[in-house]
Amino acid sequence: MPVCHLGKFFGERGWSMRIRIRDASNRDLPQIVEIEQLCFDNPWSRDSFLRELSLPFSRTTVAITTDGVEEAVAGYLCRWLVADECHILNVAVHPAARRGGIGTRLMDDTIGEAKREKVRFVTLEVRRSNVAARSLYRKLSFEERRLRRNYYGSGEDAIVMELRLGRRN
């Protein structure tokens, strides 16, 4: 299927709730970077994502949606799997595709992988001001563990959240 420009896809054509999660590829980078720029004040660069795609302990997944003719990246999640921890570095959903369960699907996919790999916990940082994301993570059984003051600069704190999965075999 051809890939289309996200703004046109979500804004004019509508989108399907049929979501497919798959590993990201270099071909997805323009859409990932576009979402990143729409969602964050200090977005990662294309080179940052390219680096993540090359690291053996890093995995970036994308949520793909389609209108039956074209497909688009609706969101992405980047994580590291190191020793007994899965650390979520970055997760975002295109603003026009929010509130459709895409963030939950990306998180569920990552938590499922963590369980299969028998990691002990999943961690992430979230802006203290990001009430919607914190609510989603709490619904997924993450607990707020500690505060990282001025983590995002400009006085914006991060809350470290953790999901305990059990002991490693």
Task: State the residue for tokens 């980078």.
Answer: 29
Q: Is residue 28 part of a domain?
A: yes
Distant-in-sequence, close-in-space partners of 27: CB < 8 Å, separation ≥ 6: 3
Sheet bearing 158-164, strands edge to edge: 20-23, 58-66, 71-82, 85-93, 121-127, 158-164, 143-148
Residue 25 lies in a domain: yes
- Number of domains the chain is built from: 1
The answer to whether 97 touches 28, Cβ cutoff 8 Å, is no
- Locus of tokens 């680096």: 51
pLDDT in tens, 89-138: 999 999 988 888 899 999 999 999 999 999 999 999 999 999 999 999 99
Residue 1: what pLDDT? 40
Query: What is the CATH classification number for the domain harbouring 85?
Result: 3.40.630.30
Q: Whole-prediction pTM value?
A: 0.87
> Which of 99, 88, 101 minimizes the C-alpha distance to 61?
88
Query: Residue 110 is part of which domain span?
Result: 6-164
